[in-house]
Structure 1
Amino acid sequence: MENWTNAKYCDVANLILGAILLLSPWIFGFDTGKVSANANITGLVIVVLAVAALAAYAVWEEWLNLVVGLWALVSPWVLGFQGTTAMTVHVVIGAAVAILAAIELWMMSQNPPRLTTGR
C-alpha cells in the first residue's frame, strides 16, 4: 500500500460513499419511488466511477464524479424531497464526492502525470 497516492485514497472514499448512497434507502428507511431510485442510480454511478479510477486513473472520471456529486447535492431540490432524511444523505454524500473530485482535479493540475520517461 506504500505506492498508493492520495488520489487512490480519494477514490476509495468515493467507493465507500457511493456504496452508502446506493444502500441508503434500506439503511435509512426512505424507500419511496423516485427518491430511492435516485439514490440507487447515483450511488451506483459513483461506485462504478471509483472502481474505474482505481483500476486506471483518468481525468474524465474525476470530472464525471464532480458532476455526479453535484447532482446528488442538488437533487433534493430538483426532485422535491427537501426536509427529509433522504435530503440529508444526498446533500452530505454529494458534497463529499464533489469535494473529493475537486481535490483530485486540483492535485492533477499541480502535478500532472508524465506520459513518457524521456530525458
Structure 2
Amino acid sequence: MKVISSKAHGVMDYIIGIALVAAPWLFQFARGGAETWVPVILGIVVIVMALFTDYELGVFKITPMSTHLWIDGVLGVFLLLSPWIFGFWGFVLWPHVIVGILMAGVSLMTETTTVHIRVT
C-alpha cells in the first residue's frame, strides 16, 4: 500500500540527506573510514537526487519519481549492509541499519505519481 505522498517523500529526502551527512559527528562515530564516509556520501547523493527528481520539491525535475524510488531502495539496502560490506560492524552498526531500513521502506510506501500545479 502506497501511503506516503511524493511531497512528503520530498521533505523526508532533504531531512534524511542532511541527517546522513551530519550523523557521524552527531552520533560520534566519525573515525575517518567507511563508517564516516558511507553516510556522508549517501546523504549528498540523496540531496542531489532530490534536487533533480520530478516531484513537488524537485528543482530541476529530470529524474522520474519511479526511478528515484528505485534508487532510494537500492541506497537503503546498501546503507543497511554497509557495516558488513566495509567491516565496521564491530564499531558502529545501528545508525546505518536503522536509516537503511527506513530508506528502503519509505521507497516502497511512496506514491509514484506527483501533483504538478500550473500557475497561469
What is the TM-score with the length of structure 2 in the denominator?
A: 0.75
The code of the aligned residue for 1:63 comes to W
Contact 1:75–1:90 at 8 Å: present in 2 too? yes
1:1-119 matched pairs, under 5 angstroms: 6-32=5-31, 33-53=33-53, 54-55=57-58, 56=61, 58=64, 59-84=66-91, 86-104=92-110, 107-108=111-112
d(CA) in 2 for partners of 1:70, 1:51: 22
Deviation at residue 25 of structure 1 after TM alignment: 1.1
- Which residue of the partner structure matches residue 118 of structure 2? none
Q: Distance in 2 between matches of 1:13 and 1:19?
A: 10
For 1:34 and 1:91, the matched residues in 2 are separated by: 14
- Structure exhibiting the larger radius of gyration computed from Cα positions: 1
CA deviation string 1:7-54 (max 9, x = no partner)? 110121122112111111111111122211112111111222223233
* Larger relative contact order (CA 8 Å, sep ≥ 6): 2
Counterpart of 1:94 in structure 2: which amino acid?
A: G
- 8 Å contact from structure 1 (residues 21, 89) kept in 2: no
Q: Please identify runs of 4+ aligned residues in structure 1 that moved more than 4 A.
A: none
Query: After superposition, what is the alpha-carbon deviation per residue over 1:56-95, rounded to whole angstroms, capped at 9, x for unaligned?
Result: 36121111111111111111111112144x4211111111
Larger helix fraction of residues: 1
